[in-house]
Structure 1
């Protein structure tokens, strides 16, 4: 019997709605997956009130953060938003600590890395973000020596990326959750990063 695992996508106003789509689409679509139907995506917010994304979309959360624990989750996904720079969303950066302490992956992109920096979660872990200068503006950040100039970094259950690297962010999430065989993941990334249709043939062949 297949056990369904839930990936929780955090919601808050001004959410950067382009940053998680590559990942959530691949988690929901069974095509090419090693174990189709294993993952489901659910949204989680501080309240059940609708949020408005940066693109102007209104989204109703599936649940609230106080109703879930790391045991309920396969991964907590934190996207950017303007609110991270104002010190908001602290409940989600605190949740990220609980998830990591429990050995459950956390994926943070763009402004969400500011929240992790403020929580002290980047002080001793390899990571990336929009820029080390941005993270260094966070008073509690002590992780400059661990910042990597890479599109996305995955280390010990933590995935980080800059806002211009949504595709690489998704690749690392799919790798962490073991959604695809390595050759399938390579071909999928090759197709979407280059647009070369030859990669689609390689994708189909790898999944056969």
Structure 2
């Protein structure tokens, strides 16, 4: 199985992980496994109050994985988040996919890793103020829901579906038509888009 690591901090954003993790499992037909990593082994509570016990901490995180997904939330501006920087650089150095949404995308700006790729975040002005001199990527900033470029996927906090779609495409979790079908169904709703042809088989995966 191919592993996708979801990095969680305290007060992580439930909705920003939910669509992506479930789609990886359903569309990937058991070819992928989603696991969580945090700074320490201690449980981390989401904004919605859900308690997640990380599969790994920074000392036990595997090096054999396909993608690292930084889930947004309320703690990316705290000093604790900086401890995830080596994991981010390891991911990029290993040629793996890196995804970040909401404030986690802004966090990447503080590490300087967005400067040479097209990207987005919650707000350009805030990104520049937060990252300071580490961020020189304004010419590559796109005011879009989600952007995928150079092995890095970024999105703003309202773009959980678009973020999921771009990561699914980058990982080739399923053929592009199936990913588009999945996205349209969830974006347009039950009565606005056709029911995906293999939706009845998803329950066999979960």
> Aligned residue for 1:193?
187
What are the superposed Cα offsets for residues 107-139 of structure 1, whole Å, 9 maximum, x if unpaired? Answer: 000000121111110111110010111111121
In 2: Cα distance, 1:93 partner to 1:171 partner: 25
Matched, 1:23 2:15: no
> Aligned residue for 2:176?
182
Check the 8 A contact 1:107/1:159 in 2, yes or no.
yes
> Aligned residue for 1:52?
45
Matched, 1:84 2:81: no
Report deviation, 1:78.
0.3
Which piece of structure 1 moves more, 53-62 or 167-176? 53-62
> Aligned residue for 1:14?
11
Structure 1 pair 17/198, CA: closer, same or farther in 2 (3 Å)?
Answer: closer
In 1: Cα distance, 2:78 partner to 2:40 partner: 19
TM-score of the aligned structures, taking structure 1 as reference length: 0.89
Report deviation, 1:81.
1.8
> Aligned residue for 1:144?
138
Which piece of structure 1 moves more, 102-111 or 138-147? 138-147
In structure 2, stretches of 5+ residues that fail to align are: 200-206
Moved over 3 A (4+): none
Q: How does 1:146-165 map to 2 (within 5 A)?
A: 146-165=140-159
Matched, 1:130 2:122: yes
Question: How many aligned positions are there?
Answer: 199
In 1: Cα distance, 2:183 partner to 2:148 partner: 16
In 2: Cα distance, 1:174 partner to 1:189 partner: 10
Check the 8 A contact 2:24/2:32 in 1, yes or no.
yes
TM-score of the aligned structures, taking structure 2 as reference length: 0.89
**Which of 121, 142, 159 is the aligned partner of 2:113?**
121
In structure 1, stretches of 5+ residues that fail to align are: none
Report deviation, 1:98.
1.6
Q: Alpha carbon RMSD of aligned pairs, Å?
A: 2.0
In 2: Cα distance, 1:68 partner to 1:86 partner: 21
Check the 8 A contact 1:49/1:61 in 2, yes or no.
yes
